[in-house]
Amino acid sequence: MTAVEALLAWYARFGRTHLPWRRTRDPYRIVVAEFMLQQTQVERVLPLYTAFLERFPTLAALAESDAGDVMRAWRGLGYNSRAQRLRLLAQTVVTEHGGEFPRERDALLALPGIGPYTAAAVRAFAFDQSDVALDTNVRRVVGRLKFGSEFPLHATDRTIGTAAAAMIPPGRGHDWNSAVMDLGATTCTARAPKCLLCPLATHCAAGGGDPGLFASAVVRRAPAVAVPFIQTKRFLRGRIVDRLRDVPARDVVALEELQRDLAEVVPRDRLAEIPGLVETLVAEGIVAREGGGVRLKS
């Protein structure tokens, strides 16, 4: 059995085919999932994805929506500028493509909020094209499989992407990408790979004939030290937007009131950063100034 055959057989048996974005070929629903899944765990996305699509069931519904309503529906996902870009994307597809997502890569890349990864994901998951959605999991699995241990790295993203594309059977872009992502998320993980359970163990360059030895070497690597989330600007931005989500549409909150409200959830030594971050959110079009206060932009 070839590596690709083993991978697809494993996916048919163990893949996360229950995920709602795996059960559709609707490019709108796939794009919503891709925007939500950017730097956000699947478990967090699942209930919010369902609720968002209940609120905005079609591309046209999202395109016609109020920006503040979209931002409120995005609560719990973070990276709030994604919601703004998603709404603009819907409007552009409606006005420039008659409400139909284009299939061509260049046309997708011309849309707001669509980069190389998302364009490849739409082509693979919605249209079954042989594109590689080169996320962290795909990069790690194919890198290990074809080029050996990633410590030190033996291949560039371009090299890994080329090798990955050569593996995709014609018309199986959806299942191949899904399978590699699931294998990376559940088995060929970054810090604790389950090499002895991997369907690709006998094909893997990283195993070198002893997958157990490779797994042990990966586990021994010291984990990276992360900055606590509460110390990041993303934390403060999220608290500001969350507070404004609770304000009725088109009502405003004075900046001083906003700071007083956030004093309950933000470290006191960081309250002074709030005015500057509000200005950034205004510049990004997420927050609007009105009179002496601020609100989510409509």
Choosing among 1.10.10.10, 2.40.10.10, 1.10.1670.10, 2.60.40.10, the CATH entry for 136-220 is 1.10.1670.10
Quote the pLDDT of residue 290: 82
* pLDDT tens string 210-254: 666 666 666 556 455 677 888 888 888 888 888 888 888 878 888
Topology of domain 229-296, CATH: Arc Repressor Mutant, subunit A (1.10.10)
Residue 150 is a catalytic residue: no
Quote the pLDDT of residue 116: 94
Quote the pLDDT of residue 247: 84
Quote the pLDDT of residue 244: 87
Compute the average pLDDT of residues 247-273. 84
**Is the CATH number of domain 26-127 1.10.340.30?**
yes
Confidence class for position 255, pLDDT limits 50, 70, 90: confident
d(CA 44, CA 293) in angstroms, rounded, equals 32
Residue ranges per structural domain of the chain: 26-127, 136-220, 229-296
Compute the average pLDDT of residues 101-130. 95
Quote the pLDDT of residue 212: 64
- Active-site choice (5, 34, 100, 264): 34
